[in-house]
Chain A
Amino acid sequence: MTTSTAPLAGARQGRGIAASTVQERRRSPRDWRGWIFVGPFMAVFALTFLAPVLYSLFLSVFQTKLIGGTQFVGLDNYVQAFTDPKFLEGAGRVTLFLAVQVPVMLTLALAAALAIDSRRLAGASFFRIGLFLPYAVPGVVAVLMWGFIYSPRMGLTGNINDLLGADVLAPFSPPWILVAIGNIVTWEFVGYNMLIFYAALRTIPEELYEAAALDGAGQFRTVRSIKLPALRGAITIATIFSIIGSFQLFNEPNILRSLAPSLISTYYTPNMYAYNLSFLGQQVNYAATIAIVMGVATAVIAYVVQLRGMRREQR
C-alpha cells in the first residue's frame, strides 16, 4: 500500500498532519486495485445483465414494421402498453395469482418447516427431502406430468370423476385453470421455500429454546416468540422470490396451453405476451417495452416488500 500512496501523501503534505494520511489513503481516488478484484464479476455483470437491459431500452423506443422499416417513436410503445387491454389483463392476472398463490404457498412452506424443526416429527429428514424433491423435477416435466393428471379423459382427474360419477373436478375449465396453475406452482416451490425457512430456523441458538423452556413456554409459545421473529428475514426473502416468480409466470401456462389452447391465451401472462409478441408477431420492440414495464413493476414491488421487511427487523 505504502509505495503507491506515498507520493500522493507527499503531494498533500501542506497539511502535514501524519494522522490524516490514513484517511487520505482510504479515500485515494486513483487506487484501482479493488476494481481488479471485482473486474471479472463486473465484466460478466455488464455483459449479461446491463447490456441486455440497455439493449431492451434501446429497442423499446423504436418500431419496426413489415412495410416501412424501423422508426424512432420515443415513448409511443410505453403509452401503448399502458392502454393495451391484453397487457393489462395479463398483468392483472399475475397480480391476482400473486395475491392468492404466494400466501398459500408460503404458509404451507412455513408450516412444513416448523413441523420438521419441531423435533416431534418422526422421519423429519425424509419429509424434508420429499417436500423438496418437486423442486428438483425440471419445470417442463412437472407441468407435463400435471397436465396428464388434470386430463379429464385420460388422467387422474378423469378417474376421480368416474369414481364419483360426476364431473366434480374440472381443472381445464375457465374458472379453474388459474387455480390449476397455482397448484402446480405451489407443488413445485413449497419445498424450496420450506428449505429457506428451515435453514433460518437452524440458526437459532439452542440457548433461546432452553431459556424458553425454563420460562415454561410450550411449543406454540416458542414458535410465536422465538421462531417466527427469527424467521422474518427469511420470510422477506421468500416473499420477494415468490413475487418475482409470479410476475414472471411463463412455463406453466405456456406448456399447459398445448393441452388447453382455448383456455390460455397468447397474452395470459405478461411474459407469455412478450414472448409471443416477439417470436410470433415479430414485434420485438413492443415486447421489449412490455418486459421493461414488468421488470420495473417487479422491482418496485420487491423493493417495497424489502423496505417493510427491513423495518420489521429493526424493531
Chain B
Amino acid sequence: MTARTLTRVAAATAAATLLGAGLVACSDGGSPGGSPDGSGPGGGADAIEAALEAGGSITYWTWTPSAEAQVAAFEEAYPNVDVTLVDTGGANDNNIKLQNAISAGSGAPDVVQLEYQALPQFMIADSLVDLTDYGFGDLEPLYTPSTWASVSQDGIWGLPQDSGPMALFYNKRVFDEFGLEVPTTWDEYIDAGRALQAADPEYYITNDSGTDAGFGTAMIWQAGGRPFAVDGENVTIDLEDEGAQRWADSWSTLVQEDLVSQIAGWSDEWFAGLASGKIATLPIGAWMPGVFESGTQAGAGDWRVAPMPTYDGGEPVTAENGGSAQVVTQQSDNPALAAGFLQWLNSSDESIQVFLDKGGFPATVKELNSEEFLSHQSDFFGGQEINRVLVDAANSVGTGWQYLPWQAYANSVYADAVGPVYLDQGDINDGLVAWQEQNVTYGTQQGFTVGE
C-alpha cells in the first residue's frame, strides 16, 4: 500500500507542477515577438479584378448573422472563388483566435471582421494589409465620416460593415403605465428613473453593472469626452476630462440612488428584463433592433426608439457604440483576392442588401439615406419608422474620438476598475481613475510613451 501510494503521490505532484505551466504553453505557438512578414500588397484596382477572375480560395472569419447569405451570393457572382466561412461566435473569441493565429505565424484567415475599437491594436502590430494600394481610397465617399475615420489612420485598413450610433430604446408600455415622458435630457432621465423606482421597485430605468467598457466609453464620447489621444507611439489618457466627468457625475447619481439594475448585459436575466420591461430603457447602438427581435420576442410591440438624451437639452449629439469593419490580414496568401472579396462584401449593393435584410444597420451613406430604408416600419417597434431616428443618430455622432491602441485589453479590465464602484454604489469617477492607472501601466509596459 505504502509503495503504491507513494508512486501515485509522486505522479500527482509532478502533474501539478506541469499542468500549471501547460496552460500557458498552449497559448502562444510562435517565437516571442515578430509579426509574420506578409507579401507586400501591390497592383491597384486592376489586380483585384484579375484576382477575382483568376479565382482561388480564401477564408473569412466573422460573427455577422448575414455572412452565410453574403458568401453564397458572392460565390454565385464569382464562381471561381471559394470562400471558407468560419463563424467565430463573437468579438471576444474572434479577437483571441486571431491574436493566437498571428502570434503563431500561421492560421489567420484572409479576411476577418474586427470591431472598430479592436482595429488599432492589430493595425499597430503590422498584422493588417494597407488597402490604399488597391485603390480603396476611392471608396471613401460611400461611408459615413465616423466609420471611415475608424478604418483610415495612416492608411486604409479595412472597409466599414456597420455602425452603432447610440439611441435611446425605451419600453413604451412601461412608460405609459407609469405616466412617464420620454426624457430628452439626462436630468429628465434620472427623474424618470426615480419615478419608476418609486412606483414599483421591480422596475429600473436601465441596467448597467460597470462592466461593459463599450458602454462606458460610448457614454463618455456622447458627453463630449475625448479621453484617448493617439499619435503613433505617443498616447495620452485623460479619463477625467470634462466630458468623462460629466457622464460619470450624472451616472453616479443613478448608481448611488439604486436606480439602475446591476444585471450584466447579454445574460439571460437581461433578456428577460428587456422582454418584461423591468429594464425600461436602453441607451445602446443602432444594431440593437436585430437583437431585440431575436432575443426578446415576448416584448414585441412594446419598444420604441428615441434620440439620445443630451446634457444641455440643445443640439442632439450621440456616439458610436460598437460596429465593425472587415480587414485583410498580412498572413493572406492572396491579398488581392481577399481585397476583392472585401470590396464586394462591404461596398456592393448586392451584399449590403443581404446585410440589411438580416436586420443590420449599415455604414454606407446611400443606404442610410434611401427612402426604402428610412420608411421601413418595424413590427417589433409597433410600426415605428425606427431607421429615421437611427439615421439621425448616425448623422449626429460627435467627431474626434480615438480608441487606445490596446482597446481590447483596456476593455477587458474595465470591469476590474469600475465594477467594484458600482457594487459599493460609489463615485464612477474613482473607477475611471483606477481604469486610467491600469491603462497607463499597460501602455508603458508595452513600450508606448503614455502621458496623462
Contacts and interface: CB of A to CB of B under 8 A. Distances in A.
Contact of B24 (A262, A287, A298, A309): A287
B328 to A, nearest CB: 21
B27 A62 contact: no
Interface in B27-47: 27-28, 31-34
Interface string B362-397: 000000000000000000000000000000000000
A299 B415 contact: no
A301 to B, nearest CB: 9
Interface stretch (B81-89, B262-270, B280-288): B262-270
Nearest to B444: A65
A240 interface: yes
B21 interface: yes
A153 B10 CA distance: 47
B23 A274 contact: yes
B344 to A, nearest CB: 32
B25 A70 contact: no
A53 B447 contact: no
Contact of A291 (B23, B32, B268, B406): B23
A23 B55 CA distance: 73
Interface stretch (B60-68, B150-158, B301-309, B416-424): B416-424
A89 B25 CA distance: 23
Interface in B149-185: none
A263 B423 contact: yes
Given A66-B447, A258-B267, A261-B209, A248 B409 contact: no
A266 interface: yes
Given A65-B445, A240-B12, A248 B19 contact: yes
Q: Is the interface of A mostly helix, strand, loop or mixed?
A: helix
Nearest to B266: A258
Contact-residue bracket for chain A: 35 or more
Contacts of B419: 261-263, 265
Interface residues of B, number: 64
Given A62-B32, A291-B21, A313-B2, A259 B264 contact: yes
Interface in A239-256: 240-241, 243-244, 247-248
Contacts of B19: 244, 248, 295
B415 A278 contact: no
Interface of B: 1-2, 5-6, 8-10, 12-28, 31-34, 96, 99-100, 103, 121, 124-125, 209-211, 233, 262-264, 267-269, 272-273, 405-406, 408-409, 412-413, 415-416, 419-420, 422-423, 442, 445-448
Given A66-B125, A262-B262, A295-B20, 15 more contacts: A56-B21, A56-B25, A62-B33, A65-B447, A66-B405, A70-B31, A70-B33, A240-B9, A265-B416, A266-B415, A278-B24, A279-B100, A280-B408, A282-B99, A299-B13
